[in-house]
Structure 1
Amino acid sequence: MIDTGKNGEFRYEQSTITDQDEAEFGITPSQTVGPYVHIGLSLEDSHLMVEPGTEGAIELEVAVVDGNGDPIADAMFEIWQAGPDGVHNSDLDPNRTTPATADGFRGLGRAMADANGAATFTTLTPGAVGEEAPHFKVGVFARGMLERLYTRAYLPGADLSADPVLNAVPEDRRDLLVATETGNGYRFDITIQAEQGETPFFAL
């Protein structure tokens, strides 16, 4: 559905215009991410939010499939989270008492999906942020999407009852925003464009 592994005819009519002077004047249409999303965005070790071996380090695996259940193999994920103390590594966080730093826990990660539509981050377990239960903020980019999708992965076993963001989601869909435990961290599965079981996304 996202045209990963494209074969066959293109979904939309192709233009026959070969000279830009022949194009009608008007607003340029929106463009999708395209197959070149990795160029300039694939920073070495950007999936490492802490160095492997750091005390308390865990792995967060994120995976995405489309409505057919097929992996979106060219997706890109971004993770933004608070540290175990519930404070973000950003000077914009009013609870931060020291300047943000690129050393140690960064709080922001980026990774490209593999052939199975999955990527793994090395990070720390987030703490609660005020009334918000511990969670990872997750952004998804993919070919065929005009804008990134925003969602959240909450920790299993945490008290989620008072979280104001999760409470904005219909009760029967909240479990779709809860990660599952693995041997060394968590896994969060995302489904896009599905009539049943689509991951809830947020408008920001």
Structure 2
Amino acid sequence: MSMYNMLLLQDMVGWVGIEAGLFHDYTMMLLCLITVGFCLFLYFMVSSGAYIIKGYSSSDYLEFTWTVVPAFLLYSLGVPSLYLMYFMEGASKYDLTLKVIGHQWYWSYELNDFNSVVEFDSYMVNLSDLGVGDFRLLEVDNVVSLPFLSKVRVLVSSGDVLHAWALPSLGLKIDACPGRLNFMNVSCLRPSLVFGECSEICGVNHSFMPIGVEFVSWDDFLSCYGS
């Protein structure tokens, strides 16, 4: 989770977040190389004098370079971006399906993979009810438990206005739109407790819609919901 004075991205616990973090680092590396190269080019042009600058005004080689190099840079960004986009869609087979409904200002969850439907609401814990070590504005009364090292399909919708179900530690964010069912894939690599918040302005209590998801083993998951 994000900490005070944190400059970098959060430690990712899912493959999507790891791939997104690698793409972010790769993009920042290209931006740094472009900035340094442009500064060196300006320094060379200015230090070489007006005579050489005038000679570059009709250079075919220069025109070829500033056409091919940006095209290559865009290609080098587009290919991993498309790969990441299709990677986020994930596989077509899932181990579990979780349905998420956004409300003003709480979340409703539903699991239909059991003999009986498991559904519950999740509200933020009031400040007066927080215990020692709890996180302000992030703790919820009902944490969602999901199995780690499993493919979980999350169906997201809204019962009133626009919301957004986001888990930064997994690199995931999806809009909850009224009358529309969006989906995404959630997969965690290790037992974790991740937090998120509604990432779409949805009213006066928008800042008080935290998300809590705990990734546990299959045995603990079945003991929690299987009965």
So what's the TM-score if we normalise by structure 1?
0.28
Whose helix fraction is larger, Structure 1's or Structure 2's?
Answer: 2
Q: Which one has a bigger Cα radius of gyration?
A: 2
So what's the TM-score if we normalise by structure 2?
0.26
